[in-house]
């Protein structure tokens, strides 16, 4: 398991145990997992975003902490929020993480997440300029999510 997956799993477990609210100390978490603090930052900025249903607040300094709150919304609102946040372009890694997070949250089925991953895969866009591929991928993923509402 990659360090980023381990950190994300640890944070998700904390959120599950504390009804969707968790406070962490970045350095303490990094020491307990055996990684550098910047890896904690990477996971927070890539997997715990408002588009993925989280609010992250941080306070710096000696008594500093990072507070993560899971936003509770109904399935349709969450999906519409994601569709609206995609924008005009979407790369494969973001599409994959989005599908994984939506599936984990129960907003889409695992089968739907697998279909999104298959539709968004790089192999489907071979020969296209990257910008064109990302534009087409965004449209496809948006339309697939809209079918779930």
Question: Is residue 83 domain-shared with residue 63, that is, in the same domain?
Answer: no
Q: Residue 19 is part of which domain span?
A: 3-70
Question: Is residue 48 domain-shared with residue 61, that is, in the same domain?
Answer: yes
| Helix intervals (H) in 18-74 | 26-33, 37-47
> Which of the listed ranges 14-18, 45-49, 52-56 does the model predict with the highest average pLDDT?
14-18
- The answer to whether residue 75 scores a pLDDT higher than 90 is no
- The answer to whether residue 63 scores a pLDDT higher than 70 is no
- Which of 10-24, 50-64, 77-91, 123-137 has the weakest average pLDDT? 50-64
Last residue of a domain, one of 38, 54, 70: 70
Last residue of a domain, one of 38, 53, 70: 70
List of residues 6+ apart from 89 with CB closer than 8 A: 131, 134, 135, 137, 138
Question: Is residue 83 domain-shared with residue 141, that is, in the same domain?
Answer: yes
**Two structure tokens written together for 69:** 């709150």
Question: Is residue 142 domain-shared with residue 80, that is, in the same domain?
Answer: yes
Question: Is residue 12 domain-shared with residue 38, that is, in the same domain?
Answer: yes
Could you read off the pLDDT of 77-121 as tens digits, one per residue? 878 888 988 889 999 999 998 898 888 878 899 999 999 999 999
**Two structure tokens written together for 32:** 């307990």
Q: What's the whole-number average pLDDT of the chain?
A: 89
Last residue of a domain, one of 39, 70, 101: 70
Q: What pLDDT is stored for residue 137 in this prediction? A: 98
Q: Which of 66, 10, 68, 17 is nearest to 35 (CA)?
A: 10
Which CATH number do you get for residue 28? Answer: 3.30.56.130
| Helix intervals (H) in 34-124 | 37-47, 75-86, 92-104, 110-120
Q: How many domains does the chain have?
A: 2
Mean pLDDT of 66-75: 84
């Amino acid at each position: 398991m990659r360090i980023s997956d381990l950190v994300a799993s640890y944070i998700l477990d904390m959120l599950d145990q504390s009804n969707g609210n968790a406070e962490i100390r970045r350095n303490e978490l990094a020491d307990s997992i055996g990684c550098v603090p910047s890896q904690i930052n990477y996971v927070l900025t890539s997997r715990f975003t408002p588009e993925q249903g989280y609010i992250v607040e941080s306070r710096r300094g000696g008594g500093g902490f990072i507070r993560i709150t899971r936003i509770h919304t109904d399935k349709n609102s969450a999906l519409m929020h994601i569709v609206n946040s995609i924008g005009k372009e979407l790369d494969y890694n973001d599409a994959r993480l989005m599908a994984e997070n939506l599936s984990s949250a129960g907003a889409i089925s695992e089968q739907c997440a697998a279909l999104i991953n298959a539709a968004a895969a790089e192999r489907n866009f071979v020969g296209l300029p990257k910008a064109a591929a990302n534009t087409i991928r965004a449209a496809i993923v948006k339309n697939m999510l809209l079918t779930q509402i």
